[in-house]
Amino acid sequence: MILLNPKQYAPSGLDPRSTELMRKVIGFFESKGKRALKADDRNCTWYADFLEFVKREQVFASLLTPAPFGGGDAHVRWDTFRNCEFNEITAFYGLAYWYTWQVSILGLGPLWMGKNEAIKATTAKLLREGHIFAFGLSERAHGADLYSTEMALVPQGDAFVARGSKYYIGNGNQAALVSTFGKVTGSGEYVFFAVDSQHPKYELVQNVVNSQSYVSEYRLAEYPITEAEILSRGTDAWDSALNTVNVGKFNLGWASIGICTHAFYEAIRHASQRVLYGKHVTDFPHVRRLFTDAYCRLVAMKVFARRAADYLRTASAEDRRYLLFNPMVKMKVTTQGEQVIDLLWDAIAAKGFEKDMVFEMAARDIRALPKLEGTVAVNMALVVKFMRNYFFNPGEFPTIPRVREAKNDDFLFAQGPTRGLSGIQFHDFAAAYATVSSPNVELFKQQIEVFKEFLVASAMDPGAVAAQGKDIDFLLALGEIFSLVVYGQLIIEYRNLERDDVSDDLLEQVFDCLVRDFSGFALQLYCKPSSTPAQMELCQKMLRKPAPDAARAERVFTGQVWPLREAYEMSP
């Protein structure tokens, strides 16, 4: 079964020692139980018990220390395949537990990417001691606008003092090192430096959210900094900031997958046991459709994210295709997660509000993920940069296999310059689509061809190009359609490599959803104020109704969805 089931955890491709570690993580939460989990959530209890477990079992030390600093222990490595498992498991039980891991990853990025070898050795030691980390990038007035940062590193003889504040910084209450972004006063040079959250000159102002997580505002007042605390300067600091986000934002999609999976189990268990008007709720046709759609979208989320991980793990200076797929895991997978929760909520209605349900947490927390590490709009603006080369200028690349080897992902901390995105090429997307000829995939291909015609026709109208190029609202709708094409491509690629995970019926049912989505976004594009008559005509040609097949939908429901009603229930 492709969905995570903690009580039948048997991951494919994970080495035995890592599998045992993940089982210990599951054991921690199942031993804690749902009642205690929910009580801690309601009371905003700091997860000290979880962090003590992380320290005792060397969880972060094993997963977040790159191999060169692991002392020769093969278990200590930065392995994206393995980290995806941990992402999913922690979010399955609660976003707060995932969040302390996520912001530690962000905090570690500038440390591992910098050239300060001494502080890297210190970081490895701190991880072994069970510490957490933080990423001091955002500011209250400017968010994550790097250009406008007001954090100042002021020269004082051979050293510096740091002055300024940061806002919305997870783990800022207890982080052993907070990687802090600022500018050097006088030169305006960008800089990353490390501070200690327990230092007397580090002022913890407040927790800005009502949560178990501590999302801090902190202030540095004449905080002393020497060259020993400097991580990177100039363009290296700028690139560290963006490349760290490249590493970290990938995790958000996996958090959505974990949250939705637990919510799915709770929802279908409840609906299958509830009787209304003499019938089980799951006997109603609209409820079966809701669960089938939710299941298909959830499987598609996981399939896409797994395939994107292959490109992340095989990336190099010559192959940067991950820079398209990576933001889509953050943007597309997380927004699909919202849709999955909405579908499930429509099926279980008021039950989704009840205080003893993990679903109540899921419905709240799923909204956060599209809004962290760059909003959907920010990531969509990035994705649109790749559209021209993706459709009209493919390159030659070797076929990427599934990458599940127990190896360190060296390139993540050597990504290099962040410029030149519009020059990145991709393999021909049509090759994946050519491997499948089923009714809904064929309809989707027709929609793609009309969309390409739309792009060519739009380029022939210089006036429209100039106006629409500045119309972010128009570009976002355009990007939604482009993203669907990429989404479908990687789903098919994964299915061709892992046929046991995605049956023919399931693939067709997934594309039933995608055809509807494509039509919906085409209609949105049609309605944009700046769309031209020629564009509106082509938008109408993109509209398709999925190929109806009631028998196929029933097979997916009875064969794959319905059996999940008793597959998992959290220990009380």
Question: Residue 379: its pLDDT value, please?
Answer: 82
Give 468's pLDDT tier (boundaries 50, 70, 90). confident
Percent of the chain residues topping a pLDDT of 70: 100
Domains, in order of start, for the chain: 6-131 (1.10.540), 135-233 (2.40.110.10), 240-389+428-563 (1.20.140.10)
Look up tokens 């594009």; give the residue: 525
Between CA 291 and CA 282 the distance in angstroms is 9
- Does position 86 have pLDDT exceeding 80, yes or no? yes
Cβ neighbours of residue 324 closer than 8 Å, sequence gap 6 or more: 383, 386, 390, 424, 426, 486
Give strand pairing partners of 219: 165, 203
Percent of the chain with pLDDT over 90: 90
Q: What is the pLDDT of residues 181-226, one digit of tens each?
A: 999 999 999 999 999 999 999 999 999 999 999 999 999 999 999 9
Output phi, psi for 178, to 5 deg: -115, 110
* Residues 84/254, Cβ–Cβ less than 8 Å: yes
**Contact at 8 Å (CB) between 302 and 487?**
no
- What pLDDT sits at residue 460? 85
Q: Is 431 helix (H, G, I), strand (E, B) or coil?
A: helix
The single residue listed with the structure tokens 């579908």 is 343
From the list 125, 120, 82, the residue with the least C-alpha distance to 101 is: 82
pLDDT band for 422, please (50, 70, 90 cuts).
Answer: confident
Average pLDDT over residues 543-563: 97
Note the Cα 316 to chain centre separation in Å.
21
Axis crossing angle, helix 334-348 with helix 235-273, rounded to the nearest 10: 20
Whether 46 contacts 54, CB under 8 Å:
no
Does residue 467 carry a pLDDT above 90? Answer: no
pLDDT at 469 over 90: no
Task: Tell me: pLDDT of 465 over 90.
Answer: no
Of 380 and 168, the structure prediction assigns the larger pLDDT to 168
pLDDT bracket for residue 117 (50, 70, 90):
very high
Higher pLDDT, 5 or 275: 5
Average pLDDT estimate for 318-322: 95
Contact 248, 262 (CB under 8 A): no
Measured CA to CA, the distance from residue 178 to residue 195 in angstroms comes to 5
Contact 489, 429 (CB under 8 A): yes
Q: Which of 150, 146, 178, 154 is closest to 164 using CA atoms? A: 150
Q: Mean pLDDT for the chain?
A: 95
pLDDT at residue 409, rounded to an integer: 97
Q: Residues 221-237: what's their mean pLDDT? A: 97
Backbone angles phi, psi at 177, to 5 degrees: -135, 135
Asked if 92 and 81 touch (Cβ cutoff 8 Å), the reply is no
d(C-alpha 292, C-alpha 335), whole Å? 18
Maximum CA extent, the chain: 82
* pTM score, whole prediction: 0.96
Pick the range with the lowest mean pLDDT from 55-69, 393-407, 450-464.
450-464
Q: How far apart are CA 472 and CA 382, in angstroms?
A: 12
> Could you report the per-residue pLDDT of 355-411, keeping only the tens digit for each?
999 999 999 999 999 988 777 778 888 888 899 999 999 999 999 999 999 999 999
Compute the residue count for the chain.
Answer: 572
State the pLDDT at residue 136. Answer: 97
CB 433 within 8 A of CB 403: no
